Amino acid sequence: MSISEEIDGGPPIKASRREGMAGLAKGLAIIEAFDLRHPQLTVSEAAAATGTTPASARRCLLTLEELGYLSHDGKYFRPTPRMMRLSASYANTSSLTVLAQPCLVAVRDELDESASLAVLDDGHALFVARAEATRIVSAGVRVGARLPAYASSTGRVMLAALPDRELEDYLARCRPQPMTPNTPATLLQVRQKIQQAREEDAAFTDEELEPGVLTVAVPVRDNLGRTHAAMSVSTSTARSSLEVMREKYLPVVRREAVRLGRML
């Protein structure tokens, strides 16, 4: 039996697709199903998240376990450190992340807070570079982490940069789900947050991703005005406030975002 036959257990593959690609696509879909709200998955949860049959999802999960990307305790599958190799492949070869690192370090050193760089990826803010502060703010943000664009400051500034038609397409697909009591819960609220980001050329979150966490983000634009990414910094409500974020943090992040943009 071929690898594609072993992994594939879902709908028939179109004749135009190359042999084996359906199994690879399902495996990648399983990997992407793990996120901040789903750090572990059962077979049935993985099947529901990826739109595959339980039998197909189980084969993909077991294959990923065999390859060392997942661990299994008999019920739940969890990512292992080897999963970091996938994000490292991008980080180690992308000029954007290489150029961004000194800028993120400058933000971290000046503010003593963690700084991140994210790109827009299928309706999510995907974090591709990061400079960690000594005192780490836990917001589920690591290189390779994905957050819903509507709920994150990085996501909102990138959504704000989209042409109106693309933004409307995104909003038509958006289904807001509360992560905290402060998360935008309706499309009207999401639209208002994005419009505010357009007007201010920056976006803030106030305990919208996680209780006790504040963030600010600004767009990273090249010399032609095209937005490539968003740079952000996060802190704790115990150490700062939105007023301080605007007065102290925003100018520093904006300065380094401009510096990065000039290098693109």
Alpha carbon distances (Å) from 171 to 93, 97, 118, 167? 32, 28, 20, 6
**What's the confidence (pLDDT) of residue 131?**
93
- The whole-angstrom separation of Cα 97 and Cα 189 is 32
Q: How confident is the model at residue 10 (pLDDT cuts 50, 70, 90)?
A: very low
Once rounded to an integer, what is the mean pLDDT over residues 190-218? 95
Higher-scoring residue by pLDDT: 249, 19:
249
- The two three-digit tokens of residue 229, written as one number: 């990414």
Residue 8, pLDDT > 60, answer: no
What is the mean pLDDT of the segment spanning 18-30? 73
Q: State the pLDDT confidence band at 11, using cuts at 50, 70 and 90.
A: very low
The average confidence (pLDDT) of the chain is 85
pLDDT, one tens digit per residue, over 153-169 is 999 999 999 999 999 99
pLDDT one-digit tens code per residue, 138-151: 445 788 888 999 99
DSSP for 150-186, please give it: GGSHHHHHHHHTS-HHHHHHHHHH-----SSTTS--S
pLDDT at 6 over 70: no
The count of C-alpha atoms lying within 13 angstroms of the C-alpha of 122, restricted to the half-sphere facing its C-beta, is 3
- Which helix (H) or strand (E) segment is 127 a member of? strand 124-131
pLDDT of residue 3: 35
Q: Which domains does the chain have, with CATH numbers?
A: 3-79 (1.10.10.10), 85-263 (3.30.450.40)
- pLDDT tens digits, residue range 91-135? 555 688 888 999 999 999 999 999 999 999 989 999 999 998 876
pLDDT for residue 141:
72
